[in-house]
């Protein structure tokens, strides 16, 4: 998912309870008293090392590589309506199922591959999202041809600069990018999904005040 407030609002009572019972408490929106002495954004689940590593090493780090940008676009679109932690836990299964997120391979998927994906219990088996991944891949490739790279398109919205803001689920920037992608025919790219995507790939840095990565 990418952004803390929506994660907290999205029915994560079991994690919130875990924070209370383990003594890892919040002060405002930032978790305190992590075992390693670092403070992190409130959405980083201390019970899931994969999630913590994602927060520490990937979330908010500027991405200019089209392969990574495509991977994250696929994953964020599958996340729509679900938790990001769920998708992150299935990330390697998605990577295997989608041929390593190879853009040319996904662009070439036909009905036989679609049906195979829908039979794969290790990923999210949603026909609309599977279809969207393929449609979005083909549009992603056309945007590479138009702009030289998808990264050039994406970072062009901010003149290559990182936007630093917290506490939002959408913004005028995500509204505009979402509208552009929808106009081109992409699916599952509403403003909330796009905002999370922009956070995930570092166009927007939303590490919260008190987090050891805030402002870095």
Catalytic residue annotation: 54, 76, 84
Task: Tell the residue number behind the tokens 């990182």, with chain if given.
Answer: 162
- To 5 degrees, how large is the angle CA 140–CA 133–CA 115? 140
Count of helices and strands (H, E) across the chain:
12, 5
Contact 94, 60 (CB under 8 A): no
The arrangement of strands across the sheet holding 40-41 comes to: 26-27, 30-31, 40-41
How does 61-76 read in b/e, with b if 16+ C-beta sit within 10 Å?
eebeebebbbbbbbbb
Distances (CA, A) of 37 to 60, 111, 142, 207, 211: 21, 50, 46, 17, 11
Task: Return the bridge partners of 31, or none.
Answer: 26, 40
């Amino acid at each position: 998912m990418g952004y803390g407030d929506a994660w907290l609002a999205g029915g994560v009572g079991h994690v919130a309870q875990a924070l209370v019972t383990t003594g890892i408490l919040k002060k405002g929106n930032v978790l305190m008293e992590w075992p390693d002495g670092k403070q992190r954004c409130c959405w980083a689940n201390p019970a899931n090392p994969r999630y913590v590593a994602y927060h520490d090493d990937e979330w908010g780090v500027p991405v200019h590589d089209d392969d990574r940008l495509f991977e994250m676009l696929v994953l964020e679109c599958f996340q729509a309506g679900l938790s990001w932690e769920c998708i992150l836990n299935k990330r390697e299964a998605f990577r295997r199922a989608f041929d390593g997120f190879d853009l040319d391979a996904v662009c070439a998927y036909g009905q036989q591959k679609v049906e195979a994906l829908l039979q794969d219990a290790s990923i999210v088996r949603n026909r609309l999202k599977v279809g969207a991944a393929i449609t979005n891949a083909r549009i992603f490739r056309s945007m590479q041809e138009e702009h030289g790279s998808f990264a050039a398109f994406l970072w062009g919205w901010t003149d290559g600069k990182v936007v630093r803001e917290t506490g939002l689920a959408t913004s005028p920037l995500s509204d505009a990018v979402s509208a552009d992608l929808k106009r081109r025919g992409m699916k599952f790219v509403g403003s909330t999904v796009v905002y999370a995507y922009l956070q995930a790939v570092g166009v927007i840095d939303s590490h919260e005040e008190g987090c050891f990565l805030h402002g870095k």
